[in-house]
Amino acid sequence: MKNFRPQNRPRKSSLLSGRTAILQALSGGQALDRIYVQKNASAALQQELRQAAARATVPINYVPVEKLNGFNLGDHGGCVALISKVHYQDLQEVISWVVDKGETPLFLILDGVTDIRNIGGIARTAYAMGVQALIIPDKGVGALNEDAVLTSAGALEQLPVCRVNSLMKAVDELHLNGIRVLASEMEAGTSILDTDFREPGAIVMGGEERGINPALMKICDQQFRIPMPGNFESLNVSVATGMILFEAVRQRHFAPNV
């Protein structure tokens, strides 16, 4: 049986309780990681929060009342929001910012990576390796909470993070900007050593349980693998990301004629 690590309860200072507080935060542009709404809350409340959250690209989780009561916030009125430690950026604005600086885009896309320690470790390595943005979906990814920021050694507060409602659409946007999308796949025919990372590119890393979504994999420009002489199934996604980014940096800065 798989062992699940217990998740730490968020600090009360990182939570908003009740309809008014959440709507004010959304209208004021405060970054929220997600909103938890009671499953059987009134249709009016659900619709109001859904519309406001959609405008701010904040995901909503519909949960039983026990989940909300577990935050120990008293009268929550059927909704609780988790304040984000990260200020999310618009993808196109980040692309334009990187290009205007005269830099070659190197982005990282996380698909289905749910362990916050892995996300923190990936962000720490990405920032050190010169990645200009981390692209994540609004659902199916670990919360970028205090634990994630701590694991990243603060990198998540420095590295631009773009949260999108569809990774498929994000790839389309990258393609429109001339950015190739490369997918890490352990069974790919091309080795990382034969992959060109010098061009504008975004690297997709999948979660350890399911890997990259097949539909997303299909629209990537190239798949590559990390050669492993040892007889082992796969690498930890954070470790694999570090190895891939090292090769990208080696090609870009230390072996320009590779």
Q: pLDDT tens digits for 49-70? A: 999 998 888 999 999 999 999 9
Spelled out in words, what is the top-level CATH class assigned to the domain 91-254? alpha beta
Q: Cα-flanking dihedrals φ and ψ of residue 214, to 5°? A: -55, -40
pLDDT number for residue 256: 55
Spelled out in words, what is the top-level CATH class assigned to the domain 14-83? alpha beta
Does the pLDDT of residue 99 top 60, yes or no? yes
Domain ranges of the chain: 14-83, 91-254
Mean pLDDT on 126-149: 87
Distance CA 141, CA 138 (A): 7
Does the pLDDT of residue 117 top 80, yes or no? yes
Rounded (10°) angle between helices 116-128 and 237-249: 10
Q: Could you read off the pLDDT of 4-58 as tens digits, one per residue? A: 344 456 778 889 999 999 999 999 988 898 999 999 999 999 999 999 998 888 9
Instruction: Copy the structure tokens of residue 212.
Output: 């990259």
pLDDT number for residue 187: 86
pLDDT number for residue 257: 58
pLDDT number for residue 19: 94
pLDDT number for residue 176: 97
